[in-house]
Amino acid sequence: MKRSIYMDYAATTFVRQEVLDEILPYFKDNFANPSSLYNFAEVNRSAIKLARQRVAKVINSDENEIYFTSGGSESDNWAIKGIAFANKSRGNHIITSQIEHHAVLNASKFLEKNGFSVTYLPVDSDGFINIEDLKNAITEKTILVSIMFANNEVGTIEPISEIGKICREKGIYFHTDAVQAVGHLPVDVKSMNIDLLSMSGHKFYGPKGVGALYIRKGVKIDNLIDGGSQERGKRAGTENVSGIVGLGKAIEIAGQELDFEANRLKILRDKLIDGILNKVPKARLNGPRGDKRLPNNVNFLETQEMWVSFLMLME
């Protein structure tokens, strides 16, 4: 019997046992609504606060700048649409790239139907935007730049600090979809001049259906969901306590193991890349090599000749 090897961790990861152990009590024992006033709910309120602190520590933010969501797509939509509509009196121009996640691209297309102008920056053969293209695209009406931290398909790590510096100097909000980066790369929202950052728990061994949006204090953004006072009034609705607890534990572990895990994955990544390039005729690597590529990403151009050779190699 052949053994299956799962190689799509960019799509999703399993939930680590340590994370699952911390989640389970919030399904049965600690089931109170954290917004309730009685003491029974205090355990859940404290659990959410701890998760918020854990997220903030890993990305170097204040805990009150972390807002829990249902995942990366929701965080992206909230950041892009929330900034656009809250700041339309300042301008109606947004800059993004052609290789963003569909959550960003489709949110941008939605805004185009609602009176906004969007510039989609091209990328080079390795997936990098050109900084000069970004500078040239900025106008007096630009209110937001949204460039992903690292690409989910070819693994390209964009020059985030440089982009953030340009945006901060121009007084333009900078959002980054960091779904593929958080838990795998060092992230510092302060030194990188990031105003908004999206993440998703199931990319770093947390549960599906929970994510977070970092919103720098002072950023003008519309609420995502109006209703109760949850998430400081910006995203109403009863909190997904178990999911939030799981995300918090998962990101804490990821932060503690970041350097070791990144180095381990880089070795495996480069071994696989070199092996395929050396043994599979006409194989072509997509994206850059070395430190400008995600440590857990390998992507090859799909051709019939390549797959025939690859399958023969695996026999």
- Average pLDDT of the residues in 113-126: 97
DSSP 90: T
What sign does the CA torsion over 76, 244, 47, 260 have? Answer: negative
| Best CA proximity match to 69, nearest among 306, 239, 292 | 239
Give the Cβ contact number of residue 49 at 10 Å: 14
pLDDT tens per residue across span 27-57? 999 999 888 888 888 999 999 999 999 999 9
Report the alpha-carbon distance of residue 70 to residue 1 in Å, rounded: 39
- Average pLDDT of the residues in 143-169: 98
| Best CA proximity match to 212, nearest among 240, 254, 184 | 240
Give the Cβ contact number of residue 190 at 10 Å: 12
pLDDT tens per residue across span 276-311? 999 887 889 999 999 999 999 999 986 655 555 555
pLDDT > 70 in the chain, percent? 95
pLDDT at 287: 96
pTM, 2 dp: 0.94
Q: Are 81 and 110 in contact (CB under 8 A)?
A: yes
Name all domains of the chain by residue range, CATH numbers in brackets.
25-256 (3.40.640.10), 258-314 (no CATH)
Tokens 């194989």, residue located: 283
- 271 burial class (0-12, 13-18, 19+ CB within 10 angstroms)? exposed
pLDDT at 3: 84
